[in-house]
Structure 1
Amino acid sequence: MNKTLNFGALACAITLALAGCSQSSNTTDIGTKSTIKAQTAETYSAKTFFDTTSIMGNSFAPSGDKVLVSSDESGIYNLYEVDINTGDKTQLTNFKDSTYPVRYFPNDERALFTKDSGGNERYHIYVKQLDGSIKDLTPGDETRASFAGFTKDGSQFFITSNQRDAKFMDLYSVDSDSYKMSSVYQNKLGLDVGAISPDGRYIALSKSNTNKDSDTFILDTYKKSLKPQLISKHDTPAQYSPDTFSADGKYLYYSTDAKGEFSQVWRYELATGNHSPALEDDWDVNFIYFSKSGRYQVSGVNADASTKVTILDTRTGKNVAMPTLLNGNLHSVNFSNDEKTMAFYLNSDTSPSNLFVWQVGSEQANQLTNTLSKEINQNDLVESEIIRFKSFDGLEIPGVLYKPKHASSTNKVPALIWVHGGPGGQSRTGYSAMQQHLVNHGYAIFAVNNRGSSGYGKTFFHLDDKKHGTDDLQDIVYGKKHLQSLDWVDSDKIGIMGGSYGGFMTAAALAFEPEEFKVGINIFGVTNWVRTLNSIPPWWESFKKALYDEMGDPATDGERHRAISPLFHAKNITKPLMVIQGANDPRVLQVESDELVAAVKANGVPVEYVLFDDEGHGFSKKENRIAASNAYLNFLDTYLK
């Protein structure tokens, strides 16, 4: 289940690594006050926090002796090879735009990667060839492309591209030697490629019907008709989404919430058409995939804002016994070709992701990276608590709370409500240099998962449909009230901040609840829904109907969109506002922020505006992240603390 429309991706617009898994977090009942004693901690600059290295990617070279990753250690993401025996890194690219790994070719050390231009989200697929030269496989100023997988023998791979029609992603096969591209499926029905069988014969496609209902299809490319076959017939609205094929190509694994409140994984037998349950839990099952031979099954469950990863040995039917690891979130699991070595990442609230390799069955894993700044004592960082409170109508609302080390009943601290992106995103446990920087400088952060957030069942998920800026905003207000009940929070010094949809909620809070929050930080937030919903990128066409079900159709709901848009009510904003924007943002256009800033300045209210000329919807360059974090802190120190 995923209605997140990616207005709010605060990181890169693509995520090539799998979601992080569960870390240990304390859970506090409704209304409980923290009993943790105040401590002391050294404070660090934004530059020191962002001296932290962000790293992603887990593709083994065919030889199994190195892993392809992307790292921002130089200030911007570029490709590196990491030697699994020594941890030594060799830089492979040096672009000025962030560059993300796809994978090595199965039979040689050519590397596929992807990047856009200045944050415009028109990603191309590139290959770094053995002689070091770079080839763009999907040229074109308006082209947007993505990788869709290799065949099992490595003779060809698949990409999706909107080069034929800007609105739809067609499927192409690419010869691994000549790079000749051949059309496999022209997407004229608004379907999305979800999975491809190992031999390339079967394509699993999905169709978004509404924000509550979707379908899964199978396309047999051996048949001349190339007509997708519906395999998810159902009478009541439900989500059906393809995940992966089995290694032998006999089964398609798909996710569905048709069987209960949470998403489960089922499997479809191609030969017989039979459906059978494969994996379920008391939370959403987020993903499932297999190692190349199918021996290992990797799955993840979204358990209360953390992901719990399980690795199953399909030969024995038993879970793989992992080596002893530090507390944290296991994610991005991958195996070498011979399946004797496993790569994975470990992340926690107080530690950014580090790359590990493990000889399967051995007693100890080898940590290849140390990504936290050497200047930071990890004990000075803060672990989160999962908190629940009751909103205006009695609904229980979860959130992730960070308490500064020195906070106590005799040393009260200012606080911030953090609102995630989306709509339909989720604030989760795990490391954030930006949040830890603010907490380290004395600001409590409460990341509220208001109604409409993912991860808490489909009923909760849809409670905000066409109620944005009203009921979900009240959840945020009641999150503030919960903070005021804590004896270590300064109840008169509470602000609000968030990115994208969270930026909208920030501006909405200042416009529609002008006395609740002392300050607001709007990070590339929607402020004019009338314009935004009429200017969405063309490649969103396949799920535009779902977007309209969520937010309302601009053709019929324009009056409501105007009513909830902070820009048209900016005269109500009386509290200091900061606005952060990327000039190349294709989702929330710069004009949105320009107009809000001008309108609030006209009120005589303090406004600070930070515009990054070389960023889009999220800041991929380290120097810009440092500049933004310094701006947040200076603004809060001036107007809140």
Structure 2
Amino acid sequence: MVGLFCGKTRNLSRLQGSSFRLMKLLLIGWLTVCLGGPAFSQSGSGPSRYSIEDVLSAPYCAGLVGEPQAGRIAWVSAQEGIRTVFVHNVRSGQTTALTNYQTDDGQDISDLHISADGRWLAFVRGGAKNSEGVSPNPTSSPAGAEQAVYLLPTDGSRAPVRVSPGNQPVFSPTGKRLLFVQGGQVYLAEIPGLSADKPVNAPVRLFTARGSQSDVTWSPDGGRVLFSSVRGYHNFIGVYDLSRKVITWLAPGVDRDQSPVWSPDGSQVAFIRVPGKKHGEMENVQGGHRFAIWVADVATGEGRTLWQSPADDGGFAQDYPAEPLRWTASNKLLFFSEHEGWMHLYALSPTGGKLTDMTPGAAEAEETAVPADGRYVYYSTNLNDIDRRHIWRVALTDAGPVTPEPLTTGTGIETDPVVVGDQLFYRSASWNRSTGIAKRRVGDSSQTLLFPAEPAPRFPTMALTEPKQIVFKAADGVEVHAQLFLPNSTSQTPRPALVFMHGGPMRQMLLGWHYRGSYYANAYAMNQYLASQGYVVLSVNYRAGIGYGRAFRRADRQGPRGASEYQDILAAAKYLQSRPDVNPLKIGLWGGSYGGYLTALGLARNSDLFACGVDIHGVHDWAWRGNHFSPGGGWAIGEAEAKVAFESSPAFNLDFWRSPCLFVHADDDRNVTFAETVDLVQKLRDKGVPTEVLIFPDDVHSFLLHKNWVRTYQALDVFFRKHLMSQPEKPLTSEK
């Protein structure tokens, strides 16, 4: 797909020679000045036109971390497949690009860590291995690919140096040592000074332990290492003493202990205890389990329970936040739980006693930050703005009632707070701005965009449409939120419409650029593009998603147990049919992963309602997944559930499937087996159902190559044009 130009600019493009080039440059400059942003063309009073490449051209920032003691923050910017690590010196105000990768090679960058002295930054490049022991290699490089730890100075004086294959890097308190995990074992690398010829000595295995080690952290004095040892049915929490060369196991039992944290003085460790695994027990990502907060003495290894959840309130509350348990400098334990109906952050004394809800209200609390003094906790939440995210803070004191205060408000999306001195840094986006890095002084009402300072040259800031919040009810009375994208047009002709469904299903699309990875940011951008092409687009936050409380996320009979969330998709279609600007005969579906499942389910059950669909790596047979993907398929699908699971699948209703479908899938998918698409396409071909496919060898579920996202959306654009735009328009006065 190339940029779409129309009107005078497009006609001028037929001219030749230097005079035209001069006129074109002048015209582009005039448009930029008049519109206050990147140039784009308009066709009379019709919709603004821009390309898929244009709307995907903005940098997307993730992985924001900070080191308050060193006065530095860092993040990763991904722009059209080029991933770059940036560091910002808070004291000097200087931002530096530390890496210079130049190609869209699909090698992700994650796990950023800054040393306490601010001299070094460590990161991980590449993805984890699949079940065959192979790291993602989306370019099909004959040399293969790896996941490795890299190190570089924050002053930008050297290129990154590969330390070793591995992940989970963490600096010692002095910044002179680096721990990381390789093959489930803990390794140590010594880091000499900046003047050394080799910045890293050969790493050595620190100790050997059974199981797979993770959650590795240094003690406050740097003399011990805390870790979790994952052993299948059970986990242990261990402390390795570097001088004595011994491991102490803390309160070992028959449970799955996880997320250990040090006390400020290093004498104790708190951790989350989850019951051990039973024979035949299968994982259910939408379920829950009991959990408890424990604290143990490092010297003796003895532990005790501080708090026990009243029911199966754990699982999501420990897996979703980046730091599910903290021990603050003000000597408070902070942890997440859903036992009161929403994912909230709770405070508890290390000696036990009263539990305090630090984030009250009908809203979710997500990522947190606690400055070194431990006086406040900063967090992102959708309190009072259910379909966005903002930064709040609350004092960690024992006196008086809990009174959280909002620090950011308005129509933006603000997440992932980092506090350095009196400055608050965070990830910031809006309905017409991709996720970047912003800052403000704590208490100030205005923000400063730190990165990017200016919009990407081709990004169509002024041409986008602000989505509207829509709320409707499904047939069984469940309230459903959605975002409506309308074309910028005064045309009175009824238009084709599209229903978009996110993946997960533990996700929530917002009234702005998405914060939870480029996967959903790209989907939001594509919905903007589709609206610009004349479609009415409805992005549906169906039940089983997050953002609306535990009962909504854990709705009855969802997915393989009855597909109750499909009622929400039918309600979305009914809403679109009720609009006079929508042609009810021209409604399509699209989505990825769980959204791909719902797309296929809609076409299988209601080809009479949905004219076509684009299914991106969707699940098509829950019963098959329960037997072949993993035990229970991640949803605890056993023999007793197999019949209902199959009946809840698109594969069950193939006799009713008539509408054409485009299938997109990468064959190294670690989330949804590629065989799901192979099987369904063959069966639809046998029945004569029109199908198209777009396949990416060696890429993974969340396409790592930017060009594969572009190709996917280009194919989606062409497919919907063919099956929706090319059909005769239905008159405005026709009956629905």
When the two structures are superposed, what TM-score results if normalisation uses the length of structure 2?
0.70
The counterpart of 1:102, out of the listed 112, 121, 132, is 112
CA distance in 1, matches of 2:162, 2:339: 44
Instruction: Give the secondary structure class of the aligned counterpart of 2:644.
Output: helix
Instruction: Give the secondary structure class of the aligned counterpart of 1:59.
Output: strand
Q: CA deviation at 1:348?
A: 1.2
Q: Which amino acid in 2 is paired with 1:163?
A: G
CA distance in 1, matches of 2:640, 2:212: 25
In the alignment, structure 1 residue 238 sits paired with structure 2 residue 318: no
The counterpart of 1:114, out of the listed 118, 124, 129, is 124
Q: CA deviation at 1:467?
A: 5.3
173 and 453 in structure 1: CA distance in 2 versus 1, 3 angstrom threshold? closer
Instruction: Give the secondary structure class of the aligned counterpart of 1:279.
Output: coil
Q: CA deviation at 1:471?
A: 2.1
Q: CA deviation at 1:473?
A: 1.0
The counterpart of 1:520, out of the listed 605, 613, 621, is 613
Instruction: Give the secondary structure class of the aligned counterpart of 1:585.
Output: coil
CA distance in 1, matches of 2:328, 2:84: 31
Instruction: Give the secondary structure class of the aligned counterpart of 1:557.
Output: helix
Match of 1:128 in 2: 151
Match of 1:77 in 2: 83
Instruction: Give the secondary structure class of the aligned counterpart of 1:344.
Output: strand
Match of 1:373 in 2: 456
In the alignment, structure 1 residue 637 sits paired with structure 2 residue 721: yes
Match of 1:4 in 2: none
CA distance in 2, matches of 1:262, 1:183: 31
Q: Which digits, 9 at most, give the CA deviation of each residue in 1:453-490, with x for residues without a partner? A: 22222222222445545321122112101111111112
Instruction: Give the secondary structure class of the aligned counterpart of 2:585.
Output: strand
Whether contact under 8 Å (1:76, 1:98) holds in the other structure is no
CA distance in 1, matches of 2:49, 2:300: 66
Q: Which amino acid in 2 is paired with 1:113?
A: F
Q: CA deviation at 1:633?
A: 0.6
The counterpart of 2:55, out of the listed 32, 44, 49, is 49
Instruction: Give the secondary structure class of the aligned counterpart of 1:604.
Output: coil
Q: Which amino acid in 2 is paired with 1:622?
A: H
Matches within 5 A, 1:167-566: 170-173=214-217, 184-188=227-231, 189=234, 191=256, 193-194=258-259, 196-197=261-262, 199=264, 201-207=268-274, 211-220=287-296, 222-225=298-301, 229-239=304-314, 241=317, 243-248=324-329, 250-259=331-340, 261-302=341-382, 303-312=385-394, 327-336=411-420, 339-360=421-442, 365-368=447-450, 369-370=452-453, 372-406=455-489, 410-431=492-513, 432-466=524-558, 468=560, 470-536=563-629, 551-566=635-650
Instruction: Give the secondary structure class of the aligned counterpart of 1:72.
Output: strand
CA distance in 2, matches of 1:168, 1:465: 35
Q: Which amino acid in 1 is paired with 2:432?
A: T
Q: CA deviation at 1:398?
A: 1.8
322 and 471 in structure 1: CA distance in 2 versus 1, 3 angstrom threshold? closer
341 and 478 in structure 1: CA distance in 2 versus 1, 3 angstrom threshold? closer
CA distance in 1, matches of 2:335, 2:219: 28
In the alignment, structure 1 residue 92 sits paired with structure 2 residue 99: yes
Q: Which digits, 9 at most, give the CA deviation of each residue in 1:222-253, with x for residues without a partner? A: 054466x4444345443484634243262211
Q: CA deviation at 1:533?
A: 2.8
Q: CA deviation at 1:124?
A: 4.9
CA distance in 2, matches of 1:293, 1:153: 19
169 and 576 in structure 1: CA distance in 2 versus 1, 3 angstrom threshold? farther
* Percent identity of paired positions between Structure 1 and Structure 2: 19
CA distance in 2, matches of 1:109, 1:63: 12
CA distance in 2, matches of 1:313, 1:152: 27
116 and 558 in structure 1: CA distance in 2 versus 1, 3 angstrom threshold? farther
Q: CA deviation at 1:156?
A: 7.2
CA RMSD of aligned residues (A): 3.7
CA distance in 1, matches of 2:299, 2:346: 25
Bigger Rg, structure 1 or 2: 2
Q: CA deviation at 1:322?
A: 5.6
Instruction: Give the secondary structure class of the aligned counterpart of 2:48.
Output: coil
Match of 1:540 in 2: none
The counterpart of 1:163, out of the listed 172, 176, 184, is 184
CA distance in 2, matches of 1:208, 1:580: 39
Whether contact under 8 Å (1:296, 1:312) holds in the other structure is yes
Q: Which digits, 9 at most, give the CA deviation of each residue in 1:243-275, with x for residues without a partner? A: 34243262211222323x323322121124442
Instruction: Give the secondary structure class of the aligned counterpart of 2:426.
Output: strand
Whether contact under 8 Å (1:72, 1:622) holds in the other structure is no
Q: Which digits, 9 at most, give the CA deviation of each residue in 1:272-298, with x for residues without a partner? A: 444233221122233443122224421
CA distance in 1, matches of 2:481, 2:506: 14
Q: CA deviation at 1:569?
A: 4.0
263 and 332 in structure 1: CA distance in 2 versus 1, 3 angstrom threshold? closer
Range 119-128 or range 242-251, more displaced:
119-128
Unaligned 5+ residue runs, structure 1? 1-37, 140-144, 538-543
Whether contact under 8 Å (1:157, 1:176) holds in the other structure is no
44 and 267 in structure 1: CA distance in 2 versus 1, 3 angstrom threshold? same
Q: CA deviation at 1:367?
A: 2.1
Q: Which digits, 9 at most, give the CA deviation of each residue in 1:503-523, with x for residues without a partner? A: 111111111222221111111
CA distance in 1, matches of 2:211, 2:474: 40
**How many residue pairs were aligned?**
582
CA distance in 1, matches of 2:406, 2:602: 48
Match of 1:22 in 2: none
Whether contact under 8 Å (2:127, 2:147) holds in the other structure is no
208 and 574 in structure 1: CA distance in 2 versus 1, 3 angstrom threshold? farther
CA distance in 2, matches of 1:389, 1:623: 36
Whether contact under 8 Å (2:126, 2:148) holds in the other structure is no
CA distance in 2, matches of 1:625, 1:205: 39
CA distance in 1, matches of 2:657, 2:619: 16
534 and 293 in structure 1: CA distance in 2 versus 1, 3 angstrom threshold? farther
Whether contact under 8 Å (1:388, 1:397) holds in the other structure is yes
CA distance in 1, matches of 2:129, 2:533: 30
CA distance in 1, matches of 2:387, 2:64: 23
462 and 327 in structure 1: CA distance in 2 versus 1, 3 angstrom threshold? closer
Q: Which digits, 9 at most, give the CA deviation of each residue in 1:173-227, with x for residues without a partner? A: 469999x996733233253633523645424225379714331332526054466
169 and 80 in structure 1: CA distance in 2 versus 1, 3 angstrom threshold? same
Instruction: Give the secondary structure class of the aligned counterpart of 1:638.
Output: helix
Q: CA deviation at 1:636?
A: 0.6
The counterpart of 1:590, out of the listed 657, 667, 674, is 674
Q: CA deviation at 1:574?
A: 1.2
386 and 619 in structure 1: CA distance in 2 versus 1, 3 angstrom threshold? same
Q: CA deviation at 1:389?
A: 1.4
157 and 533 in structure 1: CA distance in 2 versus 1, 3 angstrom threshold? farther
